[in-house]
Amino acid sequence: MFTRGRARGSLALHCGLAAAMAGACAPSDTPPQLSEGGAAAALAMAKPTFTATGELQRPEGYREWVYIGTPLTPNELNPPEAPFPEFHNVYIHPADYAHWKNTGEFQDGTVIVKELVTVGSKQAVSGNGYFMGEFVGLETTIKDAQRFADEPGNWAYFSFGHAYPLAETAPALPTASCNTCHDASADDDWVFTQYYPVLSASKGGTGTTADAADAAPTQQVSTAAAQALTGDDDVPTSADALFEYLQAGKYTSFAREAEAHKSVGPHPSPDLVAKSTVRAYFNGPMDASLKAGNATHPKGSAIVKEFYDDNDQLSGWAVAVKAEDDSQNGQGWYWYEVLSTTDGSSPVAADKGVALCWGCHLTGRDFVLSSYP
């Protein structure tokens, strides 16, 4: 909290958000000093530009933007070693933050910066913990409908390195390296707003108080719709019946993802994920609930996910069925996975509350990780 207060305070002090957005703080040639005077604040207002060859110039002045959070994935929780064990300090440009607050949307041109900071000390007078050390890396994402017309959501991703000195410029990274994971798992327009309460609590266009804004799009599907679980929508929650149901293809008329794609998760299994593709199908209640943007889904909502092998042959399924009114931390969901289309006798999972499954799906919207619709 205090860092956010400081960033906002310094904006007000040096320039003023309104003045900055009205263009009263023109960019200057002053180097990126992070503290003193109006010039630095003015520079902080400048968005990064592109080189003639389309590479992104390293952003500057972003430590004076709006600070939205610090996810941390320490080695201790990701043995033996996390891919990014550092703090991820995330900032959004003030004009983009203002737009988000007013409308609940990321405007075209939105810039978000993630600065990596090493874990320094693990001990302080306040106790044991994780304390920030040195700046060590920088990544950026930009939404630009014209420049990145072909990128999903028009978001492109850039890395300026994971060790100092950082690169001066960076090319947009391939869709599969970055965008695909954001696409599948981020809550809001490719951004992981679920980990940035500063954003979720300020999301505009949906309510007046912070909490209402956070929880706004949660109107439940009508009880009638939830109860209309007839025929194909009624996905069985016992292993044998479900395998028969899957073999008979009773889910194939559901709303589904446009095409099979690589799993950004471990599906169908960690050793097969590189060679396989997946495609998810959503039964009526689940489809309606996801389209309504509900925070929780009605009992009976179900997703069937097909696995395809490297010859594009169907090779198995994963299924999640909300079996209770309350998700109960994953205990209320029935989880099923089988890596065969001919033999249902040894499913990988077939039970309510399978920890292997819900432990990962916990980060989703009521346990659903797909970005559909």
Residue numbers at the binding site for ligand HEC (CB under 6 A)? 71, 73, 88, 90, 112, 114, 139-141, 157-159, 173, 177-178, 181-182, 184-186, 191-192, 195, 263-267, 278, 280, 303, 305, 318-320, 335-337, 348-349, 354, 356-357, 360-361, 364, 368-370
125-134, long-range: CB < 8 A, 24+ apart:
130/72, 130/74, 130/87, 132/87
Nearest distance from C-beta of residue 369 to ligand HEC, angstroms: 4
Q: Which of residues 42 and 318 has its CB atom nearest to ligand HEC in the complex?
A: 318
Q: How far is the CB of 107 from ligand HEC (least distance, A)?
A: 15
Residues 271 and 162: their CA atoms lie apart, in Å, by 27
- What are 337's strand-pairing partners? 318, 349
* Residue 329: Cβ within 10 Å count: 12
Residue 281: CB minimum distance to ligand HEC, A: 9
In the bound state with ligand HEC, the residue whose beta carbon lies nearer, of 19 and 198, is: 198
Q: Which is nearer to ligand HEC, 15 or 191 (CB)?
A: 191
Using CA atoms of 252, 257, 258, 261 in order, give the dihedral in degrees to the nearest 10.
-110
Instruction: Using the minimum distance from each CB to ligand HEC, give the nearer residue, 38 or 71.
Output: 71
Nearest CA-CA partner of 68 in 193, 234, 214, 168: 193
Outline where 15-147 has alpha helix (H): 17-21, 37-45, 94-103
Return the number of the residue (125 or 163) whose C-beta is nearest ligand HEC. Answer: 163
Q: How far is the CB of 25 from ligand HEC (least distance, A)?
A: 24
Cα–Cα distance, 35 to 11 (Å, whole number) = 10
Shortest distance, position 24 Cβ to ligand HEC, whole Å: 28
CB nearer ligand HEC, residue 7 or residue 15: 7
Helix (H, G, I), strand (E, B) or coil at 24: coil
Residues 327, 366 contacting (CB under 8 angstroms): yes
Q: How far is the CB of 279 from ligand HEC (least distance, A)?
A: 9
Q: Which residue is nearest to ligand HEC (CB)?
A: 265
